[in-house]
Amino acid sequence: MKKILILPGDGIGPEIVAEAVKVLDRLRADGLEVELEQGLVGGAAYDAKGHPLPEDTLAQARAADAILLGAVGGPQYEALERPLRPEQGLLGLRAELKLFSNLRPAILYPQLAEASTLKPEVVSGLDLMIVRELTGGIYFGQPRGVRTLDNGEKEGFNTLVYRESEIERIGRSAFEIARKRGKRLCSVDKANVLEVTELWRQVMERVAKDYPDVELSHMYVDNAAMQLVRAPKQFDVMVTTNMFGDILSDAAAMLTGSIGMLPSASLDADGKGMYEPIHGSAPDIAGQGVANPLATILSVAMMLRYSFGQGEVADRIESAVGKVLDQGLRTPDIAAEGQASVGTAQMGDAVVAALD
Ligand code: NAD
């Protein structure tokens, strides 16, 4: 029996997670062998226990096979000192569980193609996955800081560093994912300028030998940024460093124009993962019952595919989401101007009904 830790978090977190739990309950009734446990993270954990990542939550997370997280944060926590802010709950979980592989799909359901700022024919049906290295690179490299030079001028510095072992594990993670999708992997680097990414390219080539069924290509990051907005449908899976992935995955997400639709995953070396929508806690609409629960429901699909090896059940959830969009159901964030909309619970119920 697989164990899922449910961490609703703050703002709209509890509302959207409740709908994802409805989907899981429906699948359990059909024989999916998972058990659910609830925990506290972020501002909710700070309010109850004085810390955004209490020890017992961490213990629950370690014991779980996968984690479903809503969102954390809110204006009431912004004055707290940094270690007590809700975001530290998320960062702490990533670090403690060694979740080094961040999967950020950008999927544009054809029914929502009008929501993109790009022409519908460029983005309709887009389905790409960016695999971002999450625990290394320039965001963590030492030395780092701001120092004062002899002439009194200040100088800021960071270090871009990757070991072969770090590149190899993110490479393997990406090849495994490409294998479960269209079997094409594009590794994004700046090998013409940065030695670190020259090594990155060499290691990717080496790992590729173990995945003869996956086609590997390389692209410089500046070109990749251009290609993402010019012809994004050329990509299946992209793999890249922490900072390049941070930037490219946000650009790719925005191609779809609907933040309420996009799930994400962060995996460790054994495929254990934390799954969450890419959006935040949306305090502006929290408590109103209008948040879009689809990104969270699609996060459950990712969990089933990537942590539990249940690709068929994942397909079933994704096609249920497609069906409710076909039926014309829209939460306000994805409704066209003048189009009627439904609330969070109604959308969740419709997905559950469409699973049949
Ligand atoms: P946000 O993603 O919460 O909201 C941005 C806009 O998108 C808002 O107008 C919001 O109403 C809308 N939106 C987001 N999710 C939606 C959904 N499911 N349905 C309908 N509309 C939705 O980003 P923000 O406003 O910059 O941040 C709000 C809080 O969330 C902050 O405290 C921030 O730190 C936190 N945050 C958390 C995460 C996370 O938990 N992973 C990520 C980003 C931001």
3-state secondary structure 319-338: HHHHHHHHCCCCCHHHCCCC
| Relative orientation angle of helices 87-96 and 55-63, to the nearest 10 degrees | 40
- The pLDDT > 70 percentage for the chain reads 100
CATH placement of domain 1-100+268-356: 3.40.718.10
Active-site residue, selected from the candidate residues 2, 25, 98, 139: 139
- Separation of alpha carbons 116 and 100, rounded Å: 30
Judge whether residue 111 has pLDDT over 90: no
Is 139 part of the annotated catalytic residue set? yes
Task: Say yes or no: CB of residue 260 within 6 Å of ligand 1.
Answer: yes
- For the domain spanning 120-260, the CATH number is 3.40.718.10
Average pLDDT of the residues in 69-78: 97
Centre of ligand 1 from the C-alpha of residue 199, in Å: 36
The reported pLDDT for the residue numbered 206 is: 98
**Averaged pLDDT for residues 105-129:** 89
- Please identify, by atom number, the ligand 1 atom nearest to the C-alpha of residue 296: 18
Overall average pLDDT of the 335-339 stretch: 87
Q: How far apart are CA 161 and CA 135, in angstroms?
A: 11
Q: Residue 72: pLDDT above 80? A: yes
How far apart are alpha carbons 50 and 89 in whole angstroms?
12
Q: What's the pLDDT at 356?
A: 86
**Nearest atom (ligand 1) to Cα of 75:** 32
In whole angstroms, what is the distance from residue 198 CA to residue 196 CA? 5
Average pLDDT, the chain: 95
In this structure, which amino acid lies at residue 319? S
Q: Would you place residue 114 in the very low, low, confident or very high pLDDT band (cuts 50, 70, 90)?
A: confident
Name the residue of 264, 279, 292 to mutate for ligand 1: max ligand atoms within 8 A of Cβ. Answer: 279
Q: Angle at the Cα of 174 (from 171 to 179), degrees rounded to 5?
A: 125
Per DSSP, what are the bridge partners of residue 127? 107
Q: Is the Cβ atom of 354 under 6 angstroms away from ligand 1?
A: no
- Compute the distance between CA of residue 305 and CA of residue 89 in angstroms, rounded to an integer: 25
Confidence of residue 46 (pLDDT cuts 50, 70, 90): very high
Mean pLDDT of 301-320: 95
CA-nearest residue for atom 34, ligand 1, is 73
**CA-closest candidate to residue 277, choices 337, 210, 333:** 333
User: Across the strands, what pairs with 106?
Assistant: 128
Selection from 207, 285, 191 nearest residue 244 by Cα: 191
- The percentage of the chain sitting over the pLDDT mark of 90, rounded to a whole number, equals 89
Mutation test residue for ligand 1: of 281, 285, 294, the one with most atoms within 8 Å of CB: 281
pLDDT band at 110 (very low <50, low <70, confident <90, very high): confident
Closest CA to 53 of 63, 43, 62: 43
Cβ of 278 less than 6 Å from ligand 1: no
| Mean per-residue pLDDT, 61-88 | 96
Backbone φ and ψ for 6, nearest 5 degrees, come out as -100, 120
Section 67-90 average pLDDT: 95
pLDDT band per the 50, 70, 90 thresholds, residue 106: very high
- Asked if residue 347 has its Cβ within 6 Å of ligand 1, the reply is no
Residue 253 pLDDT exceeds 90: no
- The one-character DSSP state at 77 is G
290 pLDDT more than 80: yes
Q: Are 252 and 130 in contact (CB under 8 A)?
A: yes
Q: What is the C-alpha separation between 104 and 101, in angstroms, rounded? A: 10
**Is there a contact between 166 and 136 (Cβ–Cβ < 8 Å)?**
yes
Q: What is d(CA 107, CA 243) in angstroms, rounded to the nearest whole number?
A: 22
CATH 3.40.718.10 domain span(s) along the chain: 1-100+268-356, 120-260
Is 275 marked active-site?
no
- H helix intervals, the chain: 13-29, 42-49, 55-63, 87-96, 120-123, 164-179, 195-208, 221-230, 242-256, 294-306, 311-326, 344-354
For the segment 167-196, what is each residue's pLDDT rounded down to a tens digit? 999 999 999 999 989 999 999 999 999 999
Which of 309-316's residues contact partners 24+ apart within 8 Å by CB, and which partners? 310/32, 311/180, 313/27, 313/32, 316/355
Distance in angstroms between the alpha carbons of the first and the last residue of the chain: 23
> Using 50, 70 and 90 to split pLDDT, how confident is the model at 155?
very high
**Measured between alpha carbons, how far is 101 from 241 in angstroms, rounded to an integer?**
10
Closest CA to 197 of 151, 244, 262, 154: 244
Active site residue 190: yes
Confidence of residue 257 (pLDDT cuts 50, 70, 90): confident
Q: Does the structure show a pLDDT above 80 at 31?
A: yes
- Half-sphere exposure at residue 244, Cβ-oriented, CA atoms within 13 angstroms: 25
Integer angstrom CA distances of residue 167 from 129, 187, 243, 263, 343: 18, 11, 14, 24, 43
User: Which atom of ligand 1 has the smallest separation from the CA of 16?
Assistant: 18
